[in-house]
Amino acid sequence: MSIPLLSTLIFFPVLGGLSLLAVPRQQTGTIRLMALLISLIELVLCLPVALLFDKTTYLMQFQEHHSWIKALNINYALGIDGISILFLLLTGLIIVLSILVSWESITTKVQEFFVALLLLEGMMMGVFCATDFFLFYIFWEAMLIPMFLIIGVWGGPNRIYATVKFFLYTLVGSLLMLVGIILLYLKGGQTFDILKLAGQAYPFKLQLLLFWAFFAAFAVKVPMWPVHTWLPDAHTEAPAAGSVILAGVLIKMGAYGFLRFSLPILPDATRQMLLPLLILSVIAIVYGAIICLAQTDLKRLVAYSSVSHMGFVTLGMFALNQHGLEGGILQMINHGVVTGALFLAIGMIYERTHTREIAAYGGLATTMPVFAGFFLLFTLAAVGLPGTNGFIGEFLILLGSFERLPWAAAVAATGLILGAWYMLWLYQRIFFNGVKETMQGLTELNLREILTLAPMVLLIFWIGLYPNASLSFLHVSVSHLVDQVHGLGLAGPVIPVQP
Partner 1 sequence: MIPSVTVNWAAVEPILPELLLVGIGVLLIGLDLFAPRQRQVLPWLTVVGCLAALAMIVGSHSSTAFGGMFLADGFAVFFKSLCLAGVILTTLMSEHFRRIITMQQGEYYSLLVFSAVGMLMMASAGDLMVLYLGLELMALPVYALVGLHKKEKRTGEAAIKYFLMGGFASALLLFGMSLLYGLTGTTDIARIGELINTLHLTDNPALLAALALLLAGFCFKVAVAPFHLWTPDVYEGAPTVVTAFMSVGPKAAGFAIFGRVLFFGLPQLHDHWGPVLAVLALLTMAVGNITALCQHSLKRMLAYSAIAHAGYGLLGLLAGTAEGMAATMSYLGIYLFMNMGAFAILMLLATPDQPHESLEDCKGLAARSPLAAALMLIFLFSLTGIPPTAGFVGKFYLLKAALSAGYPLTVIGAVLFSAISAYFYLRVVRLMYMTEPQESQALTFSPGMVAVLGICLLGVIGLGVFPGSLLDWATGALSVM
Measured from the CB of residue 487, what is the shortest distance to partner 1 in angstroms? 28
Please tell me whether residue 152 adopts helix, strand or coil conformation: helix
Contact 485, 320 (CB under 8 A): yes
Is residue 419 near partner 1 by the rule CB under 8 A?
Answer: no
- Reference 117, options 235, 4, 246, 30; nearest CA is 246
- By CB under 8 A, what part of segment 17-36 binds partner 1? 25
* Residue closer to partner 1 (CB basis): 71 or 201: 71
Binding mask of the shown chain, residues 308 to 347, with x at each position contacting partner 1 by CB under 8 A: ----------------------------------------
Give the one residue of 175, 195, 206, 274 binding partner 1; rule: CB under 8 A.
175
Total count of residues recorded for the chain:
499
Is residue 186 near partner 1 by the rule CB under 8 A?
Answer: yes
Which backbone phi and psi does 64 adopt, to 5 degrees? -130, 145
Is residue 258 near partner 1 by the rule CB under 8 A?
Answer: no
Measured from the CB of residue 153, what is the shortest distance to partner 1 in angstroms? 5
Strand partners, 130: 78
Dist. CA 148–CA 111, nearest whole Å: 16
How far apart, in Å, are the Cα atoms of 286 and each of 227, 290, 293? 15, 6, 11
The stretch among 167-175, 315-323, 361-369, 443-451 that binds partner 1 (CB under 8 A) is 167-175
Give the one residue of 15, 36, 178, 360 binding partner 1; rule: CB under 8 A.
178
Give the one residue of 72, 275, 370, 488 binding partner 1; rule: CB under 8 A.
72
The stretch among 67-75, 98-106, 371-379, 464-472 that binds partner 1 (CB under 8 A) is 67-75
Give the one residue of 40, 43, 105, 109 binding partner 1; rule: CB under 8 A.
109
Dist. CA 191–CA 90, nearest whole Å: 30
* Residue closer to partner 1 (CB basis): 23 or 182: 182
How far apart, in Å, are the Cα atoms of 284 and each of 112, 229, 293? 36, 11, 14
Helix (H) or strand (E) holding 66: strand 61-69
The stretch among 63-71, 221-229, 238-246, 447-455 that binds partner 1 (CB under 8 A) is 63-71
Contact 478, 325 (CB under 8 A): yes
Burial class from Cβ neighbours inside 10 Å (0-12, 13-18, 19+) for residue 143 reads buried
Is residue 274 near partner 1 by the rule CB under 8 A?
Answer: no
Residues at the contact surface with partner 1, assessed by CB under 8 A = 25, 68-72, 109, 112, 134, 137-139, 141-142, 144-145, 148-149, 152-153, 159-160, 164, 167-168, 171-172, 175-176, 178-179, 182-183, 185-186
